[in-house]
A and B are shown apart, each in its own frame.
Chain A
Amino acid sequence: MIIAVASGKGGTGKTTLSVALALSADEKVNLLDCDVEEPNTDIFLNLKNKNEETVNIAIPYVTLDKCNFCGKCREVCQFNAISVLKNKVLIFDELCHSCGGCMLACPQNAISEKNSPIGTISSSESSNISFFQGRLDIGQAMSPPLIRAVKAKEKDDMLNIIDCPPGSSCPVITAVNGADYIVLVTEASPFGLNDLKITINAIREINIPFGVIINRASDSYKNVQQYCENENIDILLEIPESVAVAKSYSEGGSLLDAMPQLKPELRKILDSIMEKSL
């Protein structure tokens, strides 16, 4: 079972809800922080004994002795990452998508692959959570290869909760790929609603069932509820705006520290998602 927690707008409470859902489950949860450009789930878990591994992508490497500078690798590259000069081949690692097309196109067999590090995955474990967190190296532009590496830690026989990056583009689609259900966390604001709609349009394309949690709900802005009603979208939970939650968050505490009464409700949400997905 894989439940992805995504949002649209950033800062709506994806990490807060991912951690709270993980802590509400009866069983042991495999929690994956796929927000690799700004991972912070670890702050709210306080786990010790971290292990760290490097994640590499394959970048072409040209053996100049074999190269006849025909330029076929440059022509086939859809990412404009290669320049072939009279006696040099320039590879722009940061533009490469590791598709391997240049290797196939080379008539001289002059291109091989070399590993280029893009980030790390750290892992730690407690009695009720196993945790993996991707962290993209500074200066790296493409997060999906690292997100895929974190998602390779999903476990078939466990409840997996994926803390996704914000937005609605490649990183999010990569993070939710293969999920049984998506929990969309939004805030009760025009910004939250605007970005929620964009993400819902993207998710409907890939046919993964989803529901909405409205965070920082208030009586003064009900447009999210109206939108969900009109679109026949399940509202899983409304969490009221609360100074206590903000204070707990600022001290690295979980949502459940400030609102322990949410635990049974979150447990119910997990149960109903699992029932629906069976």
Chain B
Amino acid sequence: MKIVIPTNGDSLESDISKSFGRAQSFIIADAFTFKYELVENTQNMDSAQGAGIQSAQTAVQAGGDILITLNCGPKAYRVLTEAGVRIYLGIDGSAKENIEAYNNGSLEEMKDANQESHWV
């Protein structure tokens, strides 16, 4: 089970990012072994529009089964759900704390986007 977490850091100790589409990178971690890799998201940090869509594409291509995020807009939500990725509302804290919270069953699955569509 692969978990995707947006972050502005580079390790499991790094905090989850407030932004999904414009996070610096994604931690792709195994929910049980905590082994992880880091996928850069810099190209989307600078894009004028559609950062959420392409970040969602990155999460899907990285093989993510679960996304834990603090925020998700409607376009990213559409890509993720069409691809079968399940989205959980994260907690303020590190990527590791979020994975543990998911394993404990204390994270709630998001049934809709929690952010409005944003323009440039």
Give the interface of A toward B (CB within 8 A).
74, 79-81, 83-86, 88, 90, 92, 95, 141
11 A-B contact pairs sorted by A residue (CB < 8 Å): A80-B54, A81-B50, A83-B54, A83-B56, A84-B57, A85-B79, A86-B83, A88-B83, A92-B50, A92-B53, A141-B119
Pair count A-B, CB < 8 A: 39
Q: Is the interface of B mostly helix, strand, loop or mixed?
A: helix
Q: Does B116 contact A (CB under 8 A)?
A: no
The docked-state distance in angstroms from the alpha carbon of A81 to that of B75 is: 10
Select B82's contact among A90, A95, A141, beta carbons within 8 Å.
A90
Evaluate whether A88 and B50 lie within 8 angstroms (CB atoms) in the complex, with A74-B57, A83-B56, A141-B119 already known.
no
Q: Is the interface of A mostly helix, strand, loop or mixed?
A: loop
Give the interface of B toward A (CB within 8 A).
44, 47-51, 53-54, 56-57, 60, 75, 78-79, 82-83, 119
Select B50's contact among A86, A95, A141, beta carbons within 8 Å.
A95
B82 engages A85 (CB within 8 Å): yes
CB distance from A35 to the nearest CB of B (A): 19
CB distance from B16 to the nearest CB of A (A): 23
CB distance from B76 to the nearest CB of A (A): 9
CB distance from A48 to the nearest CB of B (A): 38
With A79-B50, A80-B47 known, 12 other A-B pairs at CB within 8 A are A79-B48, A79-B49, A80-B54, A83-B53, A83-B79, A84-B57, A85-B60, A86-B83, A88-B83, A90-B53, A90-B79, A95-B49
Minimum-distance CB pairs A-B, first 9: A80-B50, A83-B79, A85-B83, A83-B57, A80-B54, A95-B50, A83-B53, A80-B53, A95-B49
